[in-house]
């Protein structure tokens, strides 16, 4: 029964052929006295060959696993056999591997090893996701649509497998194929990364800087000053009586609701105070307290950390440098920074022993062009980067998140295929993909700097009692409902963007397991579940022998 998986023999021939090419190339290069490992072309060919070998082995393995088990596994196996034998899987794998192998050429122009490797990681994951998303969109909707359109499905759904299990089998096959290709991509990416690193070994300083790409870090924001909220509430009462114009504006914005207007005012004041606290004016000193919580604190005690500083000085020329004095752990370090520049100060491991670090930043002021205030508002202007895990672990988590996102796209494609023809289904799934990925842009805005719950805009439901002006109740109730729908849409769509593994890996930011779990629950559970239920419901109820749209 070895011929059962016969579609793979093409792959075996390809691998055999390319192994010969590889050997010849290596021999030629070695003969010409060139260092093999530093040769870009040779590296590219080795990567492609190695990746193809992994794909081949993986497909054989999948075929074997899926030979066991029930009807869904049989359907999954046929789906994989289809993608292999119609060359879809191989074209996709080839493009993927060629894409991965080509990236070093693209980023080569960047002379700084650290940035080169960082963009290498980013591009690798991007290419992987992009190609697999296309594969998923087309195979998911195409496989089912085609089968319904050419009536092949008539022979299948009259077997006692159950339509839902049939659908699940298709989804499973696609998910397994994606997982395999993601794993291969991860292995090739990691291999290439270390290859580049090994080749660059000569330059000690550069390699040392790359060290923190090999590890991941967790970004800690300074604690907000204590009593800020109480202070704001106190000041809001004063402000209300002192500034009647502002108060009137607040009142009309909230439709005459005094409680809401007060909260609105407090919210404005709070945001204003936060901005002031993060702004070190000329001649001032500010103290920031970083707290590393829980388990991270224990790790932080031993792991090195860095203080990231990227102040905004307004529109000054980069040659016009401002001197800041940073005091941490009893040591004062002067830093000179121009516009758009950033710096990192390493924090000794024992400084974080009790999970806390206090940093003082002084802005003595005075440069040639006058005094500038150092603005530190925003997540990446001032943060403590605590070293956490390894690149490998982070990459694995990133790939897992991508796999979950692709599994969702597969579910959408299959659900669309249950009632739409191929072109319409592909359009619809692409739309969902773009909307979900695009939703990530909103997510970034939403996620930043959450306000205390007391001040958050959703804390008070419209019907929680007194103080409401009911004269505009009907309209405002409707508007509020509409507003709520809009917000939940953004909330739902932003789930995708909340987990952006590609940026995390390329910037070395640790993806916490909590994020992976969240992604699994939200996208893998809720989103995929809802779409799958809709698809299953339609597919169970539809007349298979009627071709639609």
Partner 1 sequence: MTTATPNSVVECRGVRKVFRDFWLRPRVVAVDGLDLTVERGEVFGLLGPNGSGKSTTIKMLLGLLFPSDGEISVLGGRPGTKEVLARVGYLPEDSYLYPFLDGRETLEFFARLFGLDAAERRRRASELLEMVGLPDAGLRPVQEYSKGMQRRIGLAQSLINDPELLILDEPTNGLDPIGTRQVKDVIHALRDRGKTVIVTSHLLADVEEVSDRVSILYGGKQRLLGTVDELLADTGRTVFETDRLPTALIEEFKKRLAAEGVDVHRVDAPRQHLEALFLEIVRSAQSEGAVTSGARETGEIPAFLGRGPSPSHSTAPLALTQGSPKRAVVTKGEEVTEDEEHPQA
Ligand X SMILES: Nc1ncnc2c1ncn2[C@@H]1O[C@H](COP(=O)(O)OP(=O)(O)OP(=O)(O)O)[C@@H](O)[C@H]1O
Q: Which residues bind ligand X (CB under 6 A)?
A: 545-546
Q: How far is the CB of 412 from partner 1 (least distance, A)?
A: 23
DSSP string of 110-149?
A: ---HHHHHHHHHHHHHHHHHHHHHHHHHHHHHHHHHHHHH
Smallest separation, CB 157 to partner 1 (Å): 7
Q: Out of ligand X, partner 1, none, which partner does residue 379 contact, by CB within 5 to 8 A per kind? A: none
Q: Is 68 helix (H, G, I), strand (E, B) or coil?
A: coil
- Applying CB under 8 A, which of residues 39, 85, 281, 381 lies at the interface with partner 1? 85
Selected from 155, 241, 295, 453, the binder of partner 1 by CB under 8 A is 155
* Per CB under 8 A, 145 contacts partner 1: no
Q: Is 201 in the site for partner 1 (CB under 8 A)?
A: no
Q: In this chain, which of 17, 34, 64, 86 binds partner 1, going by CB under 8 A? A: 86
User: Of residues 65, 91, 106, 545, which one binds partner 1 by CB under 8 A?
Assistant: 545
Q: Which stretch binds partner 1 (CB under 8 A): 160-168, 211-219, 259-267, 387-395?
A: 160-168
| Distance of alpha carbon 128 from alpha carbon 106, whole angstroms | 16
DSSP string for 280-348: E-TT-EEEEEEE--HHHHHHHHHS-EEEEE--B-SS--TTS-EEEEEEETTEEEEEEE-TT--EEEEE-
- The entry of ligand X, partner 1, none near residue 4 (CB within 5 to 8 angstroms by kind) is partner 1
In the complex, minimum distance from the CB of residue 546 to ligand X, in angstroms, rounded to a whole number: 4
Q: Least CB distance from residue 8 to partner 1, whole Å?
A: 13
Decide: is 297 part of the binding site for partner 1 (CB under 8 A).
Answer: no
Q: How far is the CB of 166 from partner 1 (least distance, A)?
A: 8
Question: What are the tokens at 34?
Answer: 């060139």
Which is nearer to partner 1, 162 or 518 (by Cβ)?
162
User: What does the CA dihedral 234, 238, 239, 245 come to, rounded to 10 degrees?
Assistant: 140
Tokens of 326: 């940073």
Residue 521 sits in the site that holds partner 1 (CB under 8 A): no
Element (H, E) at 398: helix 391-417
Name the residue with tokens 């894409």: 99
Closer residue to ligand X in complex, CB, 466/546: 546
Residue-wise DSSP of 141-172 = HHHHHHHHHTTTHHHHHTSTT-HHHHHHHHHH
Task: Please choose, from the candidates 327, 411, 405, 314, the residue with its C-alpha nearest in 3D space to the C-alpha of residue 367.
Answer: 314
Output the smallest distance, CB 147 to partner 1, in A: 9
Residue holding tokens 């993909």? 433
In order, the DSSP letters of 77-92 are HHHHHHHHHTTHHHHH
Name the one range near partner 1 by CB under 8 A: 67-75, 267-275, 278-286, 463-471: 67-75
Whole-angstrom Cα distance, residue 416 to residue 407? 14
543 near partner 1 (CB under 8 A): yes
Stretch of residues binding partner 1 (CB under 8 A), selected from 48-56, 152-160, 345-353, 493-501 = 152-160
Options 21-29, 201-209, 490-498, 537-545: segment touching partner 1 (CB under 8 A): 537-545
The yes or no reply on residue 153 touching partner 1 (CB under 8 A) is yes
User: In which region does residue 255 sit, left (phi positive, over 0), alpha (psi from -120 to 50) or beta (all else)?
Assistant: left
Q: Which span sits near partner 1 by CB under 8 A: 24-32, 101-109, 287-295, 539-547? A: 539-547
Q: Which two tokens stand for residue 348?
A: 């000794």
Stretch that binds partner 1, among 70-78, 340-348, 395-403, 464-472 (CB under 8 A): 70-78
Q: Are 358 and 331 in contact (CB under 8 A)?
A: no
Smallest distance from ligand X to CB 543, Å: 8
In the list 197, 451, 492, 544, the residue contacting partner 1 (rule: CB under 8 A) is 544
- C-alpha pair distances (Å), 348 with each of 207, 386, 421: 20, 11, 62
- Please, which residue, 160 or 294, has the CB nearer to partner 1? 160
Maximum Cα interatomic distance, the chain, rounded to a whole number of Å: 90
Closest separation in Å from C-beta 83 to partner 1? 10
Contacts of 546 (CB under 8 A, 6+ apart): none
Q: Does 162 bind partner 1 (CB under 8 A)?
A: yes
Nearer to ligand X, 224 or 542 (CB): 542
545 or 549: whose CB is closer to ligand X? 545
Alpha-carbon gap, residue 215 to 305, rounded angstroms:
11
Asked if residue 249 binds partner 1 (CB under 8 A), the reply is no
Q: Which of 311, 278, 306, 280 is nearest to 292 (CA)?
A: 306
For residue 3, the partner it binds in partner 1, ligand X, none, with Cβ less than 5 to 8 A by kind, is partner 1
Distance between CA atoms of residues 347 and 31, nearest Å: 49
**Residue 383: strand pairing partners:** 308
Stretch that binds partner 1, among 107-115, 324-332, 350-358, 538-546 (CB under 8 A): 538-546
Residues forming the site for partner 1 (CB under 8 A): 1, 3-4, 6-7, 67, 70-71, 74, 78, 81-82, 85-86, 150-162, 543-546, 548-549
């Amino acid at each position: 029964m070895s011929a059962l998986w016969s579609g793979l023999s093409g792959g075996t021939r390809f691998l055999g052929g390319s192994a010969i090419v590889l050997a010849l190339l290596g021999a030629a290069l070695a003969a010409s006295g060139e260092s093999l490992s530093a040769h870009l072309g040779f590296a590219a060919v080795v990567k492609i060959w190695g990746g193809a070998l992994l794909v081949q082995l993986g497909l054989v393995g999948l075929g074997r696993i899926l030979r066991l088990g029930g009807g869904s596994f049989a359907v999954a196996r046929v789906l994989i056999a289809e993608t292999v034998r119609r060359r879809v899987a191989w074209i996709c794998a080839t493009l993927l591997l060629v894409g991965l192998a080509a990236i070093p050429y693209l980023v080569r122009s960047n002379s700084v090893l650290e940035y080169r490797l960082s963009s290498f990681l980013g591009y690798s994951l991007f290419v992987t996701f992009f190609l697999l998303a296309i594969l998923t969109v087309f195979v998911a909707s195409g496989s089912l649509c085609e089968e319904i359109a050419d009536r092949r499905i008539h022979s299948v759904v009259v077997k006692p497998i159950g339509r839902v299990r049939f659908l699940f089998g298709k989804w499973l096959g696609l998910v397994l194929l994606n997982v395999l290709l993601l794993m291969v991509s991860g292995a090739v990416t990691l291999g290439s990364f270390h290859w580049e690193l090994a080749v660059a070994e000569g330059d000690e300083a550069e390699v040392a800087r790359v060290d923190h790409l090999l590890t991941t870090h967790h970004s800690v924001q300074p604690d907000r000053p204590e009593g800020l909220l109480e202070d704001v509430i106190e000041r809001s009462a004063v402000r209300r009586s002192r500034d009647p114009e502002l108060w009137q504006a607040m009142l009309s914005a909230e439709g005459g609701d005094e409680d809401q207007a007060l909260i609105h005012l407090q919210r404005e004041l709070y945001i204003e105070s936060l901005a002031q606290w993060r702004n070190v004016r000329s001649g001032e000193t500010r103290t920031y307290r970083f707290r590393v919580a829980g388990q991270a604190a224990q790790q932080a005690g031993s792991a090195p950390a860095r203080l990231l500083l990227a102040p905004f000085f307004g529109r000054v020329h980069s040659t016009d440098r401002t001197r800041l004095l940073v005091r941490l752990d009893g040591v004062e370090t002067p830093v000179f920074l121009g516009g758009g520049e950033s710096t990192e100060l390493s924090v000794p491991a024992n400084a974080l022993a009790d999970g806390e670090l206090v940093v003082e930043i002084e802005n003595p002021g005075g440069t040639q062009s006058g005094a500038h205030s150092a603005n530190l508002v925003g997540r990446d202007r001032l943060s403590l980067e605590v070293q956490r895990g390894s690149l490998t672990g982070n990459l694995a988590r990133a790939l897992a998140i991508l796999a979950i996102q692709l599994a969702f796209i597969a579910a959408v494609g299959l659900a669309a295929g249950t009632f739409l023809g191929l072109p319409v289904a592909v359009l619809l799934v692409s739309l969902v993909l773009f909307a979900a990925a695009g939703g990530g842009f909103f997510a970034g805005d939403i996620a930043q700097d959450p306000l205390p719950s007391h001040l958050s805009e959703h804390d008070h439901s419209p019907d929680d009692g007194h103080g409401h002006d009911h004269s505009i109740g009907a309209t405002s109730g409707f508007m509020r409902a509409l507003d709520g729908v809009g917000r939940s849409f953004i909330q739902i769509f932003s789930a995708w963007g909340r987990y952006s593994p590609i940026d995390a890996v390329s910037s070395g930011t640790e993806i916490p397991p909590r994020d992976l779990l969240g992604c699994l629950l939200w996208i893998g559970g809720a989103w995929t579940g809802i779409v799958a239920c809709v698809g299953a419901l339609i597919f169970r109820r539809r007349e298979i022998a009627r071709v639609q749209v």
